[in-house]
Amino acid sequence: MAPGRFITLEGGEGAGKSTQARALTVALAARGLPVLATREPGGAPGAEDIRALLVEGEPGRWDGLTEALLHFAARRAHVVAAIRPALRSGCWVVCDRFADSTMAYQGYGHGLGRPAIETLAALTLEELAPDLTLVFDLPVADGLARADGRAGAETRYERMDREFHERVRAGFLDIASREPGRCVVVDATAPVQAVTAAVLRAVDARLRGA
Check: CB of residue 71 under 8 Å from CB of residue 103. Answer: no
Q: Which string of DSSP letters, residue by residue, matches the chain?
A: -PPPPEEEEEESTTS-HHHHHHHHHHHHHHTT--EEEEESS-SSHHHHHHHHHHHSS-GGGS-HHHHHHHHHHHHHHHIIIIIHHHHHTT-EEEEES-HHHIIIIIIIIS---HHHHHHHHHHHHTT---SEEEEEE--HHHHHHHHHT--SS--TTTTS-HHHHHHHHHHHHHHHHH-TTTEEEEETTS-HHHHHHHHHHHHHHHSTT-
Provide the minimum distance between the beta carbon of 13 and ligand TMP in the complex, in angstroms, as a whole number. Answer: 6
**Using the rule CB under 6 A, which residue among 29, 33, 55, 170 binds ligand TMP?**
55
Residues 1-40 that bind ligand TMP (CB under 6 A): 13, 40
**Using the rule CB under 6 A, which residue among 6, 105, 108, 172 binds ligand TMP?**
105
Query: Binding to ligand TMP by residue 171, rule CB under 6 A?
Result: no
Query: Binding to ligand TMP by residue 172, rule CB under 6 A?
Result: no
Between 106 and 133, whose beta carbon lies closer to ligand TMP? Answer: 106
**Using the rule CB under 6 A, which residue among 8, 20, 102, 133 binds ligand TMP?**
102
Query: Binding to ligand TMP by residue 210, rule CB under 6 A?
Result: no
Query: Binding to ligand TMP by residue 71, rule CB under 6 A?
Result: yes
Query: Binding to ligand TMP by residue 41, rule CB under 6 A?
Result: yes
Query: Binding to ligand TMP by residue 133, rule CB under 6 A?
Result: no
Summarize as ranges the residues that interact with ligand TMP (CB under 6 A).
13, 40-41, 54-55, 71, 97, 101-102, 105-106, 157
